[in-house]
Structure 1
Amino acid sequence: MIQINMNLVYTIINLVVLYLLLRHFLIRPVTQIMEKRKQMVEEGFKNAQDMQDQAARMKQEYEEALNGAKQESLRIVDSARRSAKAEYDRIVGEAGDKAGSIIESAKETVRVEREKTMKELQSQIAGLAVASAAKIMSGKGDGQTDSSLYDQFLKETAGETGEGSENED
């Protein structure tokens, strides 16, 4: 059978003691270090996941804020366009009104000047007619002299009135 000698017993005791020492001084600390590292890695993954979730929320908030800002800028631009269009229409309307009043004023001025000129011409014609009549009355009364005075009168009146330009618009 098997023979048990003391060397074998010592070897078994040595192995058990070595196992207990290794377990106490090596395996337990290494296991604890590995456990701590495992917890650190899990915490890192958890923190990374939390950060990723937070980043996704912030991205969503920024996108919503950006869309809101875009909508606000479009509203402001549209409002500015409407305001500019209204101002443009007002300025064009005022310019049209001013132009109309200037044209009416110019027409009135031309009419007044025309009437004034016509009155001046009528008074000059009347003066020339009186002067011609006085010359005819003081003259001899022969037909040729009367005819020459009449021709002279026509020449003077035609020269004074602008060669018969009594056209009215």
Structure 2
Amino acid sequence: MFVLAESNALYVGDQIFYLVSFIILALLVWHFAWKPVTDMMQKRADKIANDIDTAEESRQLAEKLAAQRQEELNGSKAEAAQIVEEAKKSGESQRAQIVATAQADAQTMKEQARQDAEQARENALRGAKDDVANLSIEIATKLVQKQLNAEDQQALIDSYIEGLVKHES
């Protein structure tokens, strides 16, 4: 039994040694390996969580900016439509003004043409009166100078008419 006891004692001693060595080794692994690994894993988990939060904030900001850009685009469209409408109104106003001016100018030109025609008619009548007066004077002068018979009177009138036609041409 002595051998057994010794072998058991050695076995118990070895077990204690192994147990103490294991505990020391576990403490060393925990201190030098496990703790840094868990710290590193915790930092990585924190970084990932922070990245997720940052990504969520960025997504929300992007959505907000997209909505804001859409509002501005809608506002720009409305403003462009208003500018086009104002340009149409302005163009219509200018067109009406141009038409009114053209009508007034046409009326003025028509009135001027009427006055010119009236003046030309008056000048023609005055000229005809002068011609008739001159003709009458010439006829009277010729009648006074010689006594005319019916044929001579007809010849005198015909020559006067030819003179008027040549004079007007």
Q: Which string of whole-angstrom CA distances, capped at 9 and with x for unpartnered residues, describes residues 51-81 of structure 1?
A: 1111110110011011101111110121012
Where do 5+ consecutive residues of structure 2 fail to align? none
Alignment of 1:117-156 (within 5 A): 117-156=124-163
Per the TM alignment, residue 17 of structure 1 is displaced from its structure 2 partner at its CA by 1.6
Per the TM alignment, residue 155 of structure 1 is displaced from its structure 2 partner at its CA by 2.3
Asked if 1:40 is matched to 2:47, the reply is yes
Look up the SS of the partner of 2:8 in the other structure: coil
For 1:161 and 1:25, the matched residues in 2 are separated by: 135
Structure 1 residue corresponding to 2:110, chosen from 100, 103, 110: 103
Please identify which structure carries the higher helix content.
Answer: 2
Deviates more, 1:43-52 or 1:150-159: 150-159
Which amino acid is the alignment partner of residue 114 of structure 1?
A: R
Where do 5+ consecutive residues of structure 1 fail to align? 163-169
Which amino acid is the alignment partner of residue 20 of structure 2?
A: I
TM-score by length of structure 1 reads 0.85
The alignment-based identity, stated in percent, is 23
For 1:21 and 1:88, the matched residues in 2 are separated by: 97
Query: Measured at CA, do residues 128 and 52 of structure 1 come closer, stay the same or move farther in structure 2, by a change above 3 Å?
Result: same
For 1:54 and 1:33, the matched residues in 2 are separated by: 31
Per the TM alignment, residue 8 of structure 1 is displaced from its structure 2 partner at its CA by 2.8
Query: Measured at CA, do residues 147 and 87 of structure 1 come closer, stay the same or move farther in structure 2, by a change above 3 Å?
Result: closer
Structure 2 residue corresponding to 1:82, chosen from 77, 89, 106: 89
Alignment of 1:65-80 (within 5 A): 65-80=72-87
Per the TM alignment, residue 85 of structure 1 is displaced from its structure 2 partner at its CA by 1.3
Question: Contact (CA 8 Å) 1:121, 1:160: kept in 2 or not?
Answer: no
Asked if 1:49 is matched to 2:24, the reply is no
TM-score by length of structure 2 reads 0.85
Per the TM alignment, residue 129 of structure 1 is displaced from its structure 2 partner at its CA by 1.8
| Alignment root-mean-square deviation, CA | 2.1
For 1:13 and 1:62, the matched residues in 2 are separated by: 69
Deviates more, 1:18-27 or 1:78-87: 18-27
Partner of 1:3: 8
Which amino acid is the alignment partner of residue 90 of structure 2?
A: S
